[in-house]
Structure 1
Amino acid sequence: MSIALQFAQITVLDPQEALAFYRDALGLQVVNDVESGGHHWITLGSPEATSGQIVLSDPHAGRSQADGDALEELVAKGAMSPIVFTSDDVDAAFERVRASGAEVLQEPIEQPWGPRDCAFRDPSGNMVRILQDTPQPQTV
């Protein structure tokens, strides 16, 4: 049996505004762009990956008015779970995203639990982390 991530949903206040961050700053490619019933979904993926795409959508897409309102409030507060990407060069990724004007939360540092990582906020306030795994010492 095999299992792989197909999509991860990221709720954003404005999918078109978020697109500039995820496409231009992070380098993801648009796979699908759908507008329906006043809502907008944009699917993006890494040019190197065959699975694990993200879908940007507004808070009310596919939800009741009350649920969408509550989710919109959480997104606006920056209270959603972080989105974590990996890179083979976290320092270069950091410079690219910083150059886009994104809000920097943390410059690249070595974390005590292993990876070197950095953090930003997307235009909606979601925390986006980029990490680079550090080689673990091999035991014999």
Structure 2
Amino acid sequence: MTTAPALTLANAFVYITDPDASLAFYRDALGLSVRTDITNGDFRWLTLGTPTQPELEITLSTIGSGGLPMTAADQAAMLDLLAKGLVSALIFDCDDVDALFEAVRGSGAEVLQEPTDQFYGVRDCAFRDPDGNMVRFKTDLARG
């Protein structure tokens, strides 16, 4: 048996349609910091991150912007799934899910689930980003 290579996740992709609206949500409502914001024609490479995970970047990838090659039919299918909230999801760990819930709700973000204790050992809540992607926040019940 061979030894597995040492892997570190570098980027997590979230598919979007409006980089500016998404940037306002992830930067302003969630408090993530912009790591990269570069435009080349109609392509925009936009990444954000948290101070606790400097090695991980969340990449906001615009559907049909030249980053991911796809046919018009594929683009339409992705946009349809995105509108239904079926494309991407992020789950963040946090110290106080209730306080974070109030802060994000105060930004006007769409609430999917208020803070709830789950049978699998976390207290969590959920929102939608401007494109419908689910964003969840959790605190381990043993820790909280």
Whether these two folds match at TM > 0.5 is yes
Q: Quick check: 1:65 aligned with 2:65? A: no
Q: What does 1:73-92 correspond to in 2, within 5 Å?
A: 73-92=80-99
Structure 2: runs of 5+ lacking an equivalent: none
- In the aligned structure 2, how far is the partner of 1:91 from the partner of 1:21? 18
- In the aligned structure 2, how far is the partner of 1:131 from the partner of 1:87? 6
Q: What does 1:20-59 correspond to in 2, within 5 Å?
A: 20-59=24-63
Q: Tell whether the 8 Å contact from 2:16 to 2:22 is kept in structure 1 after alignment.
A: yes
Q: Tell whether the 8 Å contact from 1:13 to 1:76 is kept in structure 2 after alignment.
A: no
- In the aligned structure 1, how far is the partner of 2:122 from the partner of 2:86? 23
TM-score by structure 2 length?
Answer: 0.87
Q: What does 1:121-132 correspond to in 2, within 5 Å?
A: 121-132=128-139
Percent of aligned pairs sharing the same letter: 50
Q: Quick check: 1:134 aligned with 2:141? A: yes
* 4+ residue runs over 4 A deviation: none
Q: May I ask how many residue pairs the two structures share in their alignment?
A: 136
Structure 1: runs of 5+ lacking an equivalent: none
Amino acid at match of 1:4: T
Shift of 1:36: 2.0
Over the aligned positions, Cα root-mean-square deviation in angstroms equals: 1.5
Amino acid at match of 2:128: R
Shift of 1:97: 0.5
What does residue 4 of structure 1 align with? 8
Question: Would the alpha carbon gap of residues 37 and 73 (structure 1) be closer, same or farther in structure 2, given more than 3 Å must change?
Answer: farther
* 1:88-134: CA deviation from partner (whole Å, max 9, x where unpaired): 11111111110000000111110001110000000001111111112
TM-score by structure 1 length?
Answer: 0.89
- In the aligned structure 1, how far is the partner of 2:84 from the partner of 2:45? 21
- The partner residue of 1:101 within 108, 123, 128 is 108
Shift of 1:25: 0.9
Question: Would the alpha carbon gap of residues 99 and 122 (structure 1) be closer, same or farther in structure 2, given more than 3 Å must change?
Answer: same
Q: Tell whether the 8 Å contact from 2:14 to 2:89 is kept in structure 1 after alignment.
A: no
- In the aligned structure 2, how far is the partner of 1:132 from the partner of 1:105? 17
